[in-house]
Structure 1
Amino acid sequence: MLARSDLRLAPAAAALWALAGVGVHGGGPMLLAVLAAAVSIVLLVGILTGGGGMARTLGAHLGLVLIGSVLLVPAALRHETAVTTLQDAAAQGLVLEVDVEILGDPEVPDSGPAWARGGSQVLGRTVPGPARIGRTAASVGELRVLIRAEGPVAEEVAGLRIGDRVRLRGTVRAAGDLVVLLPSRLTAAETDQDWRIVPRDRAREATAHLPVDEAALIRGMTTGDTQGLSPRAEDAMRRAGISHLVAVSGANIALVLAAVLVPLLLLGIGRRVRIVLAAAVCGGYVLLVGPEPSVLRAATMAAPLLLARFVGVRASPVAALALTVALWASLDPVTASSAGFVLSALATAAILILAPPLARALASMSRGRVGERAALVLAVPLVAQAACTPVLVLLTPEVSVWAVAVNMAVAPIVAPSTVLGMVALLLAVISPALAAPVYDIAAGGAHLVLLTALTADALPGARIPVPEGAAGALGAVVLMTLGAAALAARRRRLVRFALVAVLVAALAPPLATRLPGGRDQVWIVAACAVGQGDAVLLRPADAATTILIDTGPDPRALAACLDLLGVRRIDLLVLTHPHADHVGGTAALTGTRTPARQWTCPLEEASIGITDAVAAEPVTIGAAWSGPGLDVEVLWPPDAATARSAAAREDGGGEGDAANDCSVVIAATWADGTRYLGLGDLEPVAQRMFAALAPARADIVKIAHHGSARQHAPLYEQLSPQVVLVTAGQENSFGHPTRRALEIARGQTPHVGRTDVHGTVLVPPGDITALRAVGAAR
C-alpha cells in the first residue's frame, strides 16, 4: 500500500502562500485587509463554537500564520515600494542609476520593430541599496527587471553573464507588472563568476557539433542554458506540456541527489557521509544554475528530508513541502508567488497527496490487472498536469489533451538524458572533447523529446482555446473538480457517456481544420499568427480578391499562414510602415503570390521591406482601391511631415515613432456595409490627430501597436467596434498586449481575437462576432 500524507502543516502553509500572492499582486493595503479578515473569522468561529476542537485547531493555524506574517508583511511592503519607485520614475521620464544583478544569458529579441531587433536584452534584478532617480538620492528594493538595450550599449549588454553585477544608468518603462530598464551606460562591478561561467562555456563548446535544438535542450535540462533553442521547438514543447524540460526544475534536484546517493550506497559509504556529500553537491548545483524558483523550492524541501535522514528519523515529504512553502512565503513572497515556484509546488503537492489515491482508483478500475505502483506511472503526470492547469491557463489561455500522454512518453527518456548531461557537464570542465561523446548520447534522448513534442503539437486537440484570466482558471478548477467527481462515480454508465462526449467536443473543432476542406473556411478578415508582428488578410466572401496588410517578421510564418488559408494570389499589398515586424515577411510573396499593387507610407525610408517585383506607391489620405465586393480607402497619414510632427510630440516613445506615426490606416468596406479599420502602429499623439479627423465607426478594428499600453482610449470609443483584433507574439518581450490595451478593447466589445492566444483569427461574413481560429498560436 502507498503511504498516506501528513497534512498537519498544510493549512497554515497554504494560508501564508495565499497571503504572499495577495501582498505581491494586490499590494500592502489589500494584504493587511485580508489578514485582518482572516483573524476576525477565526475569532468569530471561536465565539460561536465556544472554544471547541475546531476553534482550537483554527487558532493554532492562525498562530502560525501570524508568526509568518511578521516577516511576510514587511517583505511584501518592500516589494510594493520597489515597484512604485520605478513606476513613478517611468511615469515622469526620469533617469535613474541603480545596481543590477544579471539572472540569465543575454539574447537578441527575435521580434518587434527594427530598432529593437538589433538590440540585446537580459533578465536581471535590482540590488537593494542606494540609487539615484533624477537628481534625488533614493533607495530601491529587490525587483526583477528586463534590461533592453539598443545601439552601442547593446554590445555591452550582450557581453554580460549570469551573476554579473553592473551599475546601470538609463530610463525606465513600465508595462503592467513588467519593468523594463533602458540603459544608456553600464559600469561593470568586479565580480568573480568564473566558477559559474566556465562550466556553461565548456558545455557550449562540447555541444557545438550537435544540431542546435538538441544541443540547447540538453544544456537546458542540465544547467538551464537554452541559448539557440528555436522558437518553433520552444513553442511545441510549451503546447505539449513539457516546457519545464527546457529549464532547470525541481526534478533536477532529485536527479542530482539520486546521482550522488545511489553510487555512494553501492560503494558501501556510511549514511551520514552520503547525506553530507549529497547536500554539498546539491548546494553547489543550486549555485551553478542560479536562483530558479523551482530549484529553490526543491532544494529547500530536500534540506529537512536530508536532515531527518541524517539523524535517523523518518520525515514526511508533504510536511517538508508545507514547511518550504511557508518559509518562502514569509521570507520572500515575490519568489513564492512566481509562476515557477507556484507550478513546481502545486505539481509536487499533487504528486504527493493526490497521486496515491488516484493510483488506487486506477488499480481498482483495472480489476487487479494493474498494481498500484504501476498505476502511478499514469497517476503522477495526470495529477501534476491537473494541478498546474489553472495556473497555466492564466499564463497562456489554451490547453492540450495530449499533455499527460506526452509527459508519460518522455518520462523514461528525460531522466537518463539529464543524468548523462550532468556527467558530460563534469567532463566538459576537464575537457570539452572528453564530454562530446557523452553529450552525443544524451542528445539522442533530447531528439526523441523534441520529436514527441512536435508530433503532439501537430495533432488535433493540441491547442484548445479557453477563456482568459480568472474566468479560464476558475473554469479549469471546475472541470478538474467535475473530473474527480466523475472518477468517483465511474461505475455509472451515464458518467462514462458524458466523459466520451466531453472528449469528442474537445477534439472535434481542431480535427475539422485538419480534414480535407477544413482549410476552405469562409472568412472576410484573417489575422495571421506570425509571431510579434502584423499580417492581416482582407477579401470578400467569394474570395474574388485578396488584400494583405503587412507581412509580419518572418517569411516562413507568413507562407505558413497563406498555405493554411489557401491564399494563392495577392491583389494589393499594403506595407503600413517600415519596421521589421511589419515588412520582414515580404520575401514569401513570390510566384502567384506576387502582389499586383503595393502601397507604402510616404516616408523616404519606406522602401525597406518592399517587394522589387512591383512598383511601390506611397499613399496618403484619400488613396483608394476597389475590387469585386470590397472597397479600400486610406484614412492616414495626410503626409510624411504630419507623421514626423506627431512623432516629435510623442511622450515616452522611441526612435521608431516617426515610422509608427506614418502607419497607413486602411478602411475596408464590404458590399453589405461591414467596415474594417486597421490602426497600424500609431502612437497616442497620432491616434489623437486621427480621431480629430472624425473617422466613421468601424465594425472590426485591428488595435494599434500590437496592444501596447500607448493607446488613446477615446479613439476606440469613437470607432465603437464589434470585434477587436490583437496581433501579437506569444510571450513576447514587450509585454504585448498590455492589460490597459485589453481593457480598452473589452470596454467596447467582448469579442477580442488574439493571435498570441488563439492562432490565426478568422472573421466570418454575416455574424462577424462568431470568430474562429485555425492553426497554431505563435
Structure 2
Amino acid sequence: MLGAAAWVGGITARQGGNVAYAGLLGLAGLLWATAPRLPPGLVRLLLAALLVAAAAVTGTVLRHDAVRGSPLHDLAAERATADLVGTVVSDPRVIVGRAGPQVVVRLRVQEVTSRGRRLRTGGSVVVIGSPAWSASGLGERVVAEGRLAESDEPGTAALLTGARDPVRVRGADPWWRASAAVRASIRHAVAHRPPDQAGLVPALVDGDDASLPDDLERDFRTTGLTHLTAVSGTNLTLVVGSLLLVARAAGVRRRWLAVVGLAGIVGFVLLARTEPSVLRAAVMGVVGLFAFGPDGRRRGLRALGVAVAALVLVQPDLAVAAGFALSVLATAGIVLLGPPLATALARWLPRPVAEAIAVPTAAQLACTPVIAGLSGEVSLVAIGANLLAGPAVGPATVLGLAGGLVGLVWPWAGRLCGTLAGWSVGWIIAVAEHAAALPGAAVGWGSGAFALGGLVVLCLLAGLVLPRLVRHRAAGAVLAVLLLLVVLGVPGRLWSAASGGWPPPGWVLVACDVGQGDALALAVGSGAAIVIDAGPDPRAVDGCLDRLGVEQVPLVVITHFHADHVDGLEGVLDGRSVGGIETTPLADPPGGVDRVRRAAQAAGVPVAPVSYGGTRRVGAATLQVLHPDLARAGDGPVEGPGDGSTANDASVVLLVVVAGVRLLLTGDVEPPGQAQVARLVGDLDVDVLKVPHHGSRHQDLDWLTSLRPEVALVSVGADNDYGHPSAAVLRGLQGAGARVLRTDRDGDVAVVADGSGVVRTVSRE
C-alpha cells in the first residue's frame, strides 16, 4: 500500500504541486473525520500512506523546481550559446535527421560559461552534436560548446544543440573503463555470428541493443518478447543466480554468499549502466527473488512496496514512465500469481517446468492491460512465444556474459562462448519470426477507458481462475491444446478463410480502390494503420479500412487538399481511434482545407502541417518527409493562389521503411516537385513506388525508373476523363523491371513482405 501511495503521489505531482497538496489535505481531513470509527491499525497504515504520498509529491515538486531554477533553464529560454563542463552519463546514440547523422548523449553539468559569466551549477543536459561525440565514454568529463534550447522533459534542464566536437578534460573512472571493456568484449565474442544473433546477445546480457536489426525488434514487439531486449529483472536474476551457483561450487557459504550476490548486483548495474531503467530493473529483480522463497507472497509484496516507494522518491520521473509501470506490474504478477500457479502445475509437472511456465504467464497477464494501452493491441501469441523462448534465455545470457569475461583474457575462448550463445539466441529468433508471421498474431483492442477497463477485468478473472483450472491434468491439457492452436495460428487462419482470404497475412501497404483518387493504408500494428489520403468517397475508404480490420489510425497524412484526396476523410474518422492529421503546408484549394478542418474538429482530432526532413517511428514503420520543404515555407500553413493550381506540386512525399520494405509515397507531385526530391535523395532505390498523380503523363520518367522499384502502384478510377494512367508511363516502369498494378483493374492492392525484404503483391478484384 505504501508503494502504491508513493506512485500515486508521484503521478499527481506531475499535474502541479498545488493540485497534489490540495488532494492530500482533502484526504487528511477525511481521515481525521473517520479515524474514530476505524481500527487503530488501519488508521496508522492510512496515515503512513499519506505521509509517503506527501514525500513523493514534495520530492517531485522540489526536483522540478530545481530544474526550472537552474541557470541552464534561463539560458536555454534565451537560446544562449554556452560552454559546459560536465560528465557523460549515457552511452552515445546515433540519430539520422535532416542535417545528417548526429549523436545524442546526456551530460551531468558541473559548470557553465555563457555571456561572460562562469557559474557552478548542476543539472542534466541532453547534447545533440557532431559524430565525434560517438567516441565519448561513460564517466568522462568533457567540455561541450553549442547553443542551449529548452527541453520538454521535466527532469532535463536544457538541450545543447549544434554541439562542437567534445574536449576531454578527464578520463572515465576505472570501473567505467572496465565496464566498457566487458561490453566491447561481449560484442567481439559474437561478431562472427549472423547479424541478428550478434545484435541480440549483447541486448540480452546488458541491454546493448545498438546493433539489433529493426525487423527483429518488430517481431519481438508483435510476440511480446520485447522485454528480452531491454535490461530487466530477469537479466539480473540470471546473472546473479549464475554467480551464486559458481560461488557455491567454490565452497562459499552463508553470509559470504550475500556478499557475492551484492557484488554481482553492483557489477551488473555498472555493466548495464546506472540509468533509471537499469536501477529499476535491478531493484525489481531482487524483489522477484523473494517470490519463490519461503513465505514468498508476503515477503515479495513487502519488498515490492518498499522498492516502488524508494524508486519514486529517488527518481520521481519514474512514476509516469511506461517502463516503470510494466516492470512493477510484471513483478507484482510474479509475486502474486507466480507461486500459486507454479504450485498448481507442480501437481502433475516437475517443479522446474512448472515454475518455467508460471513466471512468464504471470508477468504477461499482469502487463497485458498496459501493453494494450500503449499499442492498442493484444498479442495472442505472447504467452506461447515466451514459453517457447524462455528455456533459451538463461543459457544465452550466461554464455554471452561468459564470452565477454573470458574473452578479455582468451579471445578464442570468448568466441567459443559467443558461438554457443549465438546458437541459443538462434532459437529465440526463430520463435519470434515464426510467431510474428502467424495470421492473427495480435489483435486490435483499443486504448479507450472502456476497452482497457474490460481488459483489466478479464485479466483479473484469468488470474483467479487459472490456478484452479491447471491443478487438474485434464484441464491443463485442454489449455495447452488451445495455446498450441493459437501458436500455430489456427484462429488467424480461420478468420482469414471466413473473410475470403483478405487481407493477406503480412500486408504492409494497401492501395484502396476508391475510384479516381488516392487512399493508402500503411500497416503499423495489428488493427492499426497510417492512412495516407482519403479518396473522394467516405464510403469507399471506410469499406477498405473495414476489410483490412483497421480500428486504430495513429496518423492520417493529407498529401494535398484536392477533393480526390480529402473528400473521403469522414469515412476514415468514422468509428476509429485517430491520433492526429498532418497535412501539406500549402492551404490550397480553400474548399479542401475547410473540409479537412471541419471533419477533424467534429471528430476532435488535431490538425498540423507535416514536419519536413525529420525521421520518426510510428508503430512498425519509419517515416521521413521528403517534400515540401517547410524550412522555406515557414512554420505554419502557407496560402496559395486559391484555385488549387499549385497544390499537386506541394504534395507531401513520404519515404517509408516497414518490415524491411522501402516505399516511396508521392501524392500527386509533378515534374518540378519530383526534381526537388531527386536533388534531395540522390541515387534512391525503393521496393515500392506509389506512382505520382494517378499515372498522369506529366512525369519525370527518367527519375521514376531510376528508383528501380519492384512494384509500382497506380491509384486510379476506371474510365476516368483524364486519360489516367498514361500508357507511356506504364511501359516505362515495366521496362525498368517494375510490376505495375492499378486499382481500376486490380481492385484493392496489397503489398506483402516476408520480413526479409522479399516483396509480393495480392489483389482483391
Pairwise TM-score range, normalised by the shorter structure: 0.5 to 0.7
Q: Between the two proteins, what is the percent identity of the paired residues?
A: 28
Query: What is the CA deviation profile of residues 55-74 of structure 1, one whole-angstrom value per residue up to 9, with x for unaligned ones?
Result: 53232342265157447513
Deviation at 1:356, TM superposition (A): 2.4
Query: What is the CA deviation profile of residues 552-610 of structure 1, one whole-angstrom value per residue up to 9, with x for unaligned ones?
Result: xxxxxxxxx9xx99xxxxxxxxxxxxxxxxxxxxxxxxxxxxxxxxxxxxxxxxxxxxx
Q: Which residue of 1 aligns with 2:560?
A: 665
Q: Find the residue that maps to 1:467 and give its secondary structure.
A: coil
- Residue 390 of structure 2 is aligned to residue 411 of structure 1: yes
Partner letter of residue 407 of structure 1?
Answer: N
Partner letter of residue 278 of structure 1?
Answer: G
* Alignment: residue pair count: 579
Q: Find the residue that maps to 2:430 and give its secondary structure.
A: helix
- Residue 121 of structure 2 is aligned to residue 156 of structure 1: no
Q: In the superposition, relative to structure 1, how do residues 243 and 104 fare at CA in structure 2: closer, same or farther (>3 Å)?
A: farther
Q: In the superposition, relative to structure 1, how do residues 210 and 275 fare at CA in structure 2: closer, same or farther (>3 Å)?
A: same
- Residue 331 of structure 2 is aligned to residue 348 of structure 1: yes
Deviation at 1:260, TM superposition (A): 1.8
Unaligned runs of 5+ in 2: 291-295, 471-477, 505-509, 550-556, 573-579, 611-615, 626-635, 637-655, 666-714, 718-747, 756-765
Deviation at 1:405, TM superposition (A): 0.9
CA contact (8 A) 1:207 1:439 kept: yes
- Residue 171 of structure 2 is aligned to residue 191 of structure 1: yes
Q: Find the residue that maps to 1:253 and give its secondary structure.
A: helix
Q: Which moved more, 1:215-224 or 1:181-190?
A: 181-190
Q: Which residue of 2 aligns with 1:14?
A: 4
Partner letter of residue 390 of structure 1?
Answer: P
CA contact (8 A) 2:222 2:442 kept: yes
Deviation at 1:409, TM superposition (A): 0.8
Q: In the superposition, relative to structure 1, how do residues 217 and 489 fare at CA in structure 2: closer, same or farther (>3 Å)?
A: closer
- Residue 247 of structure 2 is aligned to residue 264 of structure 1: yes
Q: In the superposition, relative to structure 1, how do residues 322 and 735 fare at CA in structure 2: closer, same or farther (>3 Å)?
A: farther
Q: Which residue of 2 aligns with 1:124?
A: 106
Partner letter of residue 159 of structure 1?
Answer: A
Q: In the superposition, relative to structure 1, how do residues 92 and 537 fare at CA in structure 2: closer, same or farther (>3 Å)?
A: same
Q: In the superposition, relative to structure 1, how do residues 264 and 21 fare at CA in structure 2: closer, same or farther (>3 Å)?
A: same
Unaligned runs of 5+ in 1: 1-10, 308-312, 545-560, 566-659, 702-715, 738-743, 745-754, 766-770
Q: In the superposition, relative to structure 1, how do residues 460 and 505 fare at CA in structure 2: closer, same or farther (>3 Å)?
A: closer
TM-score, with structure 2 as normaliser: 0.63
Aligned match of 1:82 in 67, 78, 82? 67
Partner letter of residue 250 of structure 2?
Answer: L
Query: Separation in 2 of the partners of 1:488 and 1:280?
Result: 37
Query: What is the CA deviation profile of residues 353-372 of structure 1, one whole-angstrom value per residue up to 9, with x for unaligned ones?
Result: 12223445667xxxx54477
Q: In the superposition, relative to structure 1, how do residues 121 and 468 fare at CA in structure 2: closer, same or farther (>3 Å)?
A: farther
Q: In the superposition, relative to structure 1, how do residues 65 and 733 fare at CA in structure 2: closer, same or farther (>3 Å)?
A: farther
Q: Find the residue that maps to 1:528 and give its secondary structure.
A: strand
Query: Separation in 1 of the partners of 2:132 and 2:330?
Result: 39
Query: Separation in 2 of the partners of 1:66 and 1:415?
Result: 41
CA contact (8 A) 1:106 1:157 kept: yes
Q: Find the residue that maps to 1:121 and give its secondary structure.
A: strand
**Aligned pairs (5 A) from 1:351-750:** 351-359=334-342, 369-370=348-349, 374-468=353-447, 473-484=452-463, 507=492, 511=496, 516-519=501-504, 523-524=513-514, 525-529=519-523, 536=532, 665-669=560-564, 682=584, 690=587, 694-697=590-593, 716=597, 729-730=617-618
CA contact (8 A) 1:75 1:333 kept: yes
Query: Separation in 2 of the partners of 1:195 and 1:513?
Result: 59
Q: Which residue of 2 aligns with 1:624?
A: none
Query: Separation in 2 of the partners of 1:73 and 1:757?
Result: 44
**Aligned pairs (5 A) from 1:96-107:** 98=84, 101-107=87-93
Deviation at 1:694, TM superposition (A): 3.3
Query: Separation in 1 of the partners of 2:524 and 2:115?
Result: 40
Q: Find the residue that maps to 1:468 and give its secondary structure.
A: coil
Deviation at 1:140, TM superposition (A): 6.7
Partner letter of residue 520 of structure 2?
Answer: A
Query: What is the CA deviation profile of residues 472-521 of structure 1, one whole-angstrom value per residue up to 9, with x for unaligned ones?
Result: 64443233234446659979xxxx99xx9xx9998589746996343489
Deviation at 1:163, TM superposition (A): 3.4
Q: In the superposition, relative to structure 1, how do residues 469 and 229 fare at CA in structure 2: closer, same or farther (>3 Å)?
A: farther
CA contact (8 A) 1:394 1:473 kept: yes
CA contact (8 A) 1:293 1:341 kept: no
Partner letter of residue 2 of structure 2?
Answer: A
Query: What is the CA deviation profile of residues 108-146 of structure 1, one whole-angstrom value per residue up to 9, with x for unaligned ones?
Result: 335x5x42xx2223352544x554687888887645x65
Q: In the superposition, relative to structure 1, how do residues 315 and 279 fare at CA in structure 2: closer, same or farther (>3 Å)?
A: farther
Query: Separation in 2 of the partners of 1:278 and 1:249?
Result: 17
Partner letter of residue 121 of structure 1?
Answer: V
Q: Which residue of 2 aligns with 1:42?
A: 31
Q: Find the residue that maps to 2:260 and give its secondary structure.
A: helix
- Residue 45 of structure 2 is aligned to residue 63 of structure 1: no
Aligned match of 1:328 in 307, 311, 324? 311
Deviation at 1:410, TM superposition (A): 0.9
Q: In the superposition, relative to structure 1, how do residues 164 and 388 fare at CA in structure 2: closer, same or farther (>3 Å)?
A: farther
Partner letter of residue 172 of structure 1?
Answer: A
Query: What is the CA deviation profile of residues 712-767 of structure 1, one whole-angstrom value per residue up to 9, with x for unaligned ones?
Result: xxxx3597586889996237999999xxxxxx9xxxxxxxxxx9999999x9x9xx
Partner letter of residue 30 of structure 2?
Answer: I
Query: What is the CA deviation profile of residues 185-205 of structure 1, one whole-angstrom value per residue up to 9, with x for unaligned ones?
Result: 344442324222222223323
Q: In the superposition, relative to structure 1, how do residues 14 and 537 fare at CA in structure 2: closer, same or farther (>3 Å)?
A: closer
Query: Separation in 1 of the partners of 2:152 and 2:329?
Result: 28
Deviation at 1:274, TM superposition (A): 2.3
Partner letter of residue 397 of structure 1?
Answer: G
Q: Which moved more, 1:222-231 or 1:315-324?
A: 315-324
Deviation at 1:36, TM superposition (A): 2.4
CA contact (8 A) 1:146 1:181 kept: yes
Query: What is the CA deviation profile of residues 410-436 of structure 1, one whole-angstrom value per residue up to 9, with x for unaligned ones?
Result: 110000110111111111222433311
Partner letter of residue 108 of structure 1?
Answer: V
Aligned match of 2:230 in 225, 240, 247? 247
Deviation at 1:241, TM superposition (A): 1.1
Deviation at 1:773, TM superposition (A): 12
Query: What is the CA deviation profile of residues 593-648 of structure 1, one whole-angstrom value per residue up to 9, with x for unaligned ones?
Result: xxxxxxxxxxxxxxxxxxxxxxxxxxxxxxxxxxxxxxxxxxxxxxxxxxxxxxxx
CA contact (8 A) 2:147 2:160 kept: yes
Deviation at 1:17, TM superposition (A): 2.0
Aligned match of 2:217 in 225, 234, 248? 234
Query: Separation in 2 of the partners of 1:106 and 1:672?
Result: 46
Q: In the superposition, relative to structure 1, how do residues 271 and 125 fare at CA in structure 2: closer, same or farther (>3 Å)?
A: same
Q: In the superposition, relative to structure 1, how do residues 374 and 134 fare at CA in structure 2: closer, same or farther (>3 Å)?
A: same
Query: Separation in 2 of the partners of 1:513 and 1:336?
Result: 44
Aligned match of 2:256 in 273, 276, 285? 273
Deviation at 1:450, TM superposition (A): 1.3
Deviation at 1:22, TM superposition (A): 2.5
Partner letter of residue 437 of structure 1?
Answer: L
TM-score, with structure 1 as normaliser: 0.62
Deviation at 1:342, TM superposition (A): 2.9
Query: What is the CA deviation profile of residues 195-237 of structure 1, one whole-angstrom value per residue up to 9, with x for unaligned ones?
Result: 2222222332332212122111101111222222111111111
Q: Which residue of 1 aligns with 2:745?
A: none
CA contact (8 A) 1:122 1:148 kept: yes
CA contact (8 A) 2:102 2:131 kept: yes
